[in-house]
Amino acid sequence: LHKAGWWSPESVTDDVDVSWRLQLAGWRLVYEPKAICWILMPETVRGLWRQRLRWSVGGTQTVLDSTPALLSGKRWRLLPIWINYVVSILWAYAIVIGGVFWVIAMVGIPLPDWAPIFSPIPGAWGIVLAATYLVQSGTSVLLDSKFESRFHNVMFWIIWYPVLFWTLQALTAFVGLPKALLRRRGARGTWVSPDRGIR
């Protein structure tokens, strides 16, 4: 941590930022399945939106800031993660812009042929991706179940990822990119913890 410059006071996602800088400094991070902890999560949609938007801004800021170091330091190990992030943002923009055109078309305004239209009602590919995700989640739960008792219970709730959460991710990525780009250099990274609506 000392060599990587400790935690950045400017980042709004301290964990993402410091893990990227550690790896850019030549360290390796490995997955420890036995390290289990719990996390407090937002309990309202507004709280969830604010948290995910902050994560999006922080993640984008980290990826943008890391790009010169990644290329000049030749840390190619991080390149697939970098590409994954950039492609995810492009995907989010495609989804949101296509969704906006779909709404315009639905209200009867004629659109030019080049306008991409994405219906929020899943088509064949939406179903394929949702099914792929469920297989992926099932495999992860199968692998991680031996480290955490009753972990398989999460499979019941995991359906919200393809049904709703991806839309939230796309919207936060869409809003998060300009926020990250316009964020003043040197601005303090501060945030309020998720709401605690339910007692």
Partner 1 sequence: MKTPGPSKPDWPPVIGSGITPFIRLRDTILTIIAWIFVVALLWEVLELLWDYFSHPIFAFSKTHSLSWLGLLDRIGNFALVSLLLVLWLTFWGFVGRKEPRRTHDPRPVPALLLSEHAAAFGVPPETIERWRQSQVVVVQFDAANRLENVTAKAPAALDADPADRGER
Q: Is 28 in the site for partner 1 (CB under 8 A)?
A: yes
- 40 scored as a contact of partner 1 (CB under 8 A): yes
Residue whose C-alpha is closest to residue 25's, from 73, 67, 61, 76: 73
9 is a contact residue toward partner 1 (CB under 8 A): yes
Closest to partner 1 by CB, 34 vs 110, is: 34
Give me the least distance between CB of 199 and partner 1, in Å please: 8
Give dist(CA 84, CA 170) in Å, integer: 14
> What sign results for the dihedral spanned by CA atoms 97, 162, 144, 39?
positive
By three-state DSSP, how is residue 192 classified? Answer: coil
CA angle 148/158/35 to nearest 5° reads 25
Instruction: Give the number of other CB atoms < 10 A from CB of residue 16.
Output: 18
Instruction: Compute the distance between CA of residue 59 and CA of residue 69 in angstroms, rounded to an integer.
Output: 16
Q: Residue 122 or 138: which CB sits closer to partner 1?
A: 122
Q: How many residues in the chain?
A: 199
Give the CA count within 13 Å in the CB-facing half-sphere of 142.
Answer: 6
Judged by beta carbon, residue 15 or residue 178, the one nearer partner 1 is 15
The nearer residue to partner 1, 103 or 135, going by C-beta atoms, is 135
Kindly give, in sequence order, each residue whose CB lies less than 8 Å from that of residue 60, ignoring residues fewer than 6 positions away.
Answer: 85, 89, 173, 176, 177, 180, 181
Residues 46 and 131: their CA atoms lie apart, in Å, by 28
Q: Segment near partner 1 (CB under 8 A), from 65-73, 87-95, 104-112, 159-167?
A: 159-167
Interaction mask 49-68, partner 1, x per CB under 8 A:
--x-----------------
Least distance CB 198 / partner 1 (angstroms): 6
Site string for partner 1, 78-117 (x = CB under 8 A): ----------------------------------------
- The residues of the shown chain that bind partner 1, judged by CB under 8 A, are 2, 6, 9-10, 15, 28, 30, 38-40, 43, 51, 122, 124, 127-128, 130-132, 134, 156-157, 159-160, 162-164, 186, 188, 193-194, 196, 198-199
